[in-house]
Each structure stands twice: as C-alpha cells, then as structure tokens.
C-alpha cells in the first residue's frame, strides 16, 4: 500500500529521522483539530527534529502555516500511497483523530493521537503497540508543553 517515498523526501531535503504532524481532519470536523500543531512544530524544530506535514486537499493552507517541510504532490496533496510511504518511514507521528493518523498506526509507526471529547479513544480500538492516544475534554485547551513532553518520552533526543 505504501509507495517508496525516498525520492519525495530527498527532493524536499527531509532527513531520515523525521517527525510527521497531522494537523488537519475533514473540514466538517474542525472540533477534531488541535490548534497547537504550529507551536509544536516550532518547538520540535528548536530541539533539532525535522518536522514534516503532508496535507490533504482541504488542509493545504493550514499546512503552509506550520514551520516545517510541507510535502505535496502534483494535485497539491499526496495520494494515499505516497502518504503511506511518507508515514511508513517516519520516526514518529503526532496527529488528530483522522484517517492518516489511523493509517500510520496500521503501518506500525509509533504514533500519538490527540482526541477531544468527540469520540472515546476506547471505541476506536486504536491503542496498540507503538500507538497511543491522549484524550482531553477540550482540544483547544491542551497545552503544547503536555504534547511535547509525551513526544519527548517516545522520541530519542537529538
């Protein structure tokens, strides 16, 4: 299912040990979007991590507002196979409760999913080896420091 993304990543200047952020979700599910991704990207970059985002069709503007590598395809976004290739090679993924985050889990990539009150994590059945979730009553109130600390526990220091 996953294309070889090495040429795409090399062309974008992405090193081999990158973190993927998935800041979007379907436009009709704005409540699933944690607003701290830009600050998280900035802080991870300050710590020496390469940060990547591969936006979907309705997430291009959001992705371009993040201080990171934005990977796009000929149509402005990557198809599922290219996205799977990018996710499969990631050192870690932080994402909202959305399809690409679940795809990363299916590929066996270490993931931290961010859930608000919209869906109980337990109903999704997504907790598995390397894939975990944080659930909070209000995503807008989830501090960047809390997410950064969880990432730091799981990703080797640079």
List CB contacts of 27: < 8 A, sequence separation 6 or more. Answer: 58
Cβ–Cβ under 8 Å, residues 144 and 43: yes
Contact by Cβ (8 Å): 50, 17: yes
pTM, two decimals, is 0.92
CA 153 to chain centre: 17
Instruction: Give CA separation, 143 vs 96, 109, 136, 139, in Å.
Output: 14, 24, 11, 9
Which residues face 92 on adjacent strands?
19
Listed in sequence order, the residues at least 6 apart from 141 whose beta carbon sits closer than 8 Å to its beta carbon are none
Q: Coil, strand or helix: which one is 121?
A: helix
Read off the pLDDT of residues 109-145 as tens digits, 9 standing for 90 and up. 999 999 888 776 666 656 566 678 898 999 999 999 9
pLDDT, one tens digit per residue, over 29-88 is 777 889 999 999 999 999 999 999 999 888 888 899 999 999 998 888 899 999 999 999
Name the more confident of 83 and 27.
83
pLDDT (0 to 100) of residue 31: 79
């Amino acid at each position: 299912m996953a294309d070889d993304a090495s040429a795409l990543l090399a062309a974008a200047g992405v090193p081999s040990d990158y973190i993927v952020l998935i800041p979007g979700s379907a436009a009709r599910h704005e409540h699933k979007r944690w607003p701290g991704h830009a600050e998280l990207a900035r802080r991870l970059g300050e710590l020496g991590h390469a940060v990547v985002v591969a936006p979907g069709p309705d997430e291009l503007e959001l992705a371009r507002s993040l201080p990171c590598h934005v990977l796009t395809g000929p149509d402005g976004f990557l198809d599922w196979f290219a996205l799977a290739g990018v996710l499969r090679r990631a050192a870690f993924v932080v994402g909202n409760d959305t399809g690409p985050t679940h795809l990363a889990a299916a590929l066996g990539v270490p993931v931290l999913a961010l859930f608000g009150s919209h869906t109980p994590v337990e109903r999704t059945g997504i907790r598995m080896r390397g894939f975990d979730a944080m659930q909070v009553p209000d995503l807008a109130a989830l501090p960047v420091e809390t997410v950064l600390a969880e990432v730091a526990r799981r990703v080797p220091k640079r």
